[in-house]
Structure 1
Amino acid sequence: MKRIHILICIMFCIFLAACSKKTEDRHSTNPTETTSTATADAAAEATNNEVATDEKLGTKWGDEIDSQVTEVDLKRQSDSPLAEVIVQYADKNYQGKSVNSISLAAGKISFLIVDDHDNNIPIYRVGQSYFLSGREGQSYQLKYENNTAKTFEIVASVDGVDVINGREASRSNSGYVLNPHESLKIEGFRKSNSAVASFTFSKPEDSYAANSDHGSIQNAGVIGTVIYALEAPESDDAKPVNKYAPPPNAFPADR
């Protein structure tokens, strides 16, 4: 009986070891696969960052567009931004995953770049880096969608220049207000309370940054966005707007 007891103990230990091994295998990550993915991302990002002289772009002072704004007195909840992102752009076929929009602040805000017809301009993501394919002479707009009942501030820069005051970009500069469940389009460099000069892709030497007192051609080819939460009351009436066609109703009289 003693020998049988010992044999049972040994078999039980072998069984526990086998179960433990299966659990480890199930929860462990394949190091070869992880290394391969990281290597591919690094290679793609290096390729994207290698921009030939004839591929480089800047953003020039384009046509004047009517754009009305009013000033409001709102305070930031914190000096620390909720989120920020940089998008590099050039007339280049970028590598990476094509995305329709960039998710900011844990999905609270969607950021996309569109043309004059509100069509998305291709953005490519590699890791945490974003790249935009543009072409000379093409106008574009920065579009932000608020998916919450809260109010945010958008501080944006193009080629290292603040889009509102035309000076050197800084996170501490004032921005645009993005109201609850609404969208905001920044169409160009602000000229006055009633007009902007449209963002238009150009050669770096023709960019606004290269031809202004507060910009530099060295910063051409980059778009920056910083998001702050504002101290504004949440509106009970601020409900999401259905942007799509409503479903058909076979009995419209019975609402």
Structure 2
Amino acid sequence: MKFRSTWLLSLLGGFALILNSCTVSPTDYSGSPQNAIAPSHSEAEAKSIITGGLRSGDSAIQSDSIDAVLKNPNRPGLATGWGDSVHSNVVEQDFVRASKGPAGTDAIYYNDSDGMKAMTTRPESVKPLQRAAGGLVEWGIKGPHGFLPAYKEYGWGRRFVTGKKGSSYSIEIKNRSESTIEVVASVDGLDVMDGKTASYAKRGYLIGPHRTFTIDGFRTSDSSVASFQFSSVMGSYANQRYGNTRNVGVIGLAVFTSKHGDAQLRNNARAFAQAP
């Protein structure tokens, strides 16, 4: 089965894409059918993306007390709220996925300093950018003044970043391959394109070969996004919109390759290529 997605090409400079699966009809931000959209060229160059389980700090909690924790109005730690509107134009372009499933997925967990210490054992400081999907992409989380402090959990290998309540952040993704790829991203279990439950089947952003693209927020129209902003758990978009905080604290990424990627690589092949 072919999975066809709509590639949204930036109007000014860089470009990215938003996917439309052949099994899921795209919707606009009010719930009515419409085509997919993509961010603007002028801006700086997700296993299911839904994190179906609990965060590590919840693992020791008995199942009969989980609901009490999730509904606790004073639940500590960070989540993502609905921030200021940011200009971001998009246009459409077709993209055919190489397969139904992604070429690779990854996740970055986030919290404040105290929350991260409670969730991890012996966290080790690491570089802010990490490779994913077999090296197809490199990605990280940026704050207002550069990449956020990043850590790797001892033993488990999970990645974490620390942030501060009220601060905005963005997701930066670099395509390290020779072909255009599609990335489907989620924040707190919600798709960044429509703010609804995240899924592989949803449309994503397209990123050209060796291009870097930044996702600044939840898309609200074909010309703007609501910036990602660290908030309290109860003040999060997930809680305010859906009353669900089970998946707060994680950012997901799923990477899809193009069905025509091999042809693109062959077009760029050289008869007398220099040694790397």
Once residues 259 and 195 of structure 2 are traced to their aligned partners in structure 1, the CA distance between those partners, rounded to angstroms, is: 26
Give the corresponding residue for 2:134.
106
CA contact (8 A) 2:97 2:256 kept: yes
- Alignment correspondent of 2:199: 170
Give the drift of 1:55. 4.5
- What does residue 201 of structure 1 align with? 230
The within-5 A match list for 1:52-201 is 55-92=76-113, 94=116, 95-117=123-145, 119-126=146-153, 127-201=156-230
CA–CA separation in structure 2 for the residues paired with 1:202 and 1:172: 28
* C-alpha contact (below 8 Å) 2:96/2:258 kept by paired residues: yes
Equivalent in the alignment of 2:48: none
Q: The residue matched to 2:105 in structure 1 has which SS?
A: strand
Q: 1:221 to 1:134 in 2, by over 3 A?
A: same
**Take 1:201 and 1:190, find their aligned partners in 2: how far apart are those partners?**
17
What is the one-letter code of the residue matched to 1:218? R
Corresponding residue for residue 225 of structure 1: 253
Mark the structure with the bigger radius of gyration.
1
Distance 2:133 2:249 in 1: 24
**Secondary structure at 2:239 match in 1:** helix
TM-score by length of 2: 0.63
Deviation at 1:217, TM superposition (A): 1.5
Runs of 4+ in 1 over 3 A off after TM superposition: 48-55
Contact 2:238 2:244 in 1 (8 A): yes
Long gaps (5+) in structure 1:
1-47, 238-255
Which structure has more relative contact order (CA 8 Å, sep 6+)? It is 2
Q: CA deviation at 1:120?
A: 0.8
Specify the SS of the correspondent of 2:166: coil
Q: Identify the structure with the greater helix proportion.
A: 1
C-alpha RMSD of matched pairs (Å)? 2.2
Q: Is the 8 A contact 2:106 2:133 kept in 1?
A: no
SS at match of 1:149: coil
Kindly provide the CA deviation profile for residues 201-252 of structure 1, in whole angstroms up to 9, marking residues without a partner as x. 0001111111114x62221111111111023453868xxxxxxxxxxxxxxx
For residue 74 of structure 1, give the secondary structure of its aligned residue in structure 2. Answer: strand
Change in Cα spacing, 1:58 to 1:96, as seen in structure 2 (3 Å) is: same
SS where residue 80 of structure 2 aligns? Answer: strand
Distance 1:92 1:54, change over 3 A: farther
Normalising by structure 1, report the TM-score: 0.68
User: Tell me, which stretches of 5 or more residues in structure 2 are unaligned?
Assistant: 1-54, 59-68, 117-122, 269-276
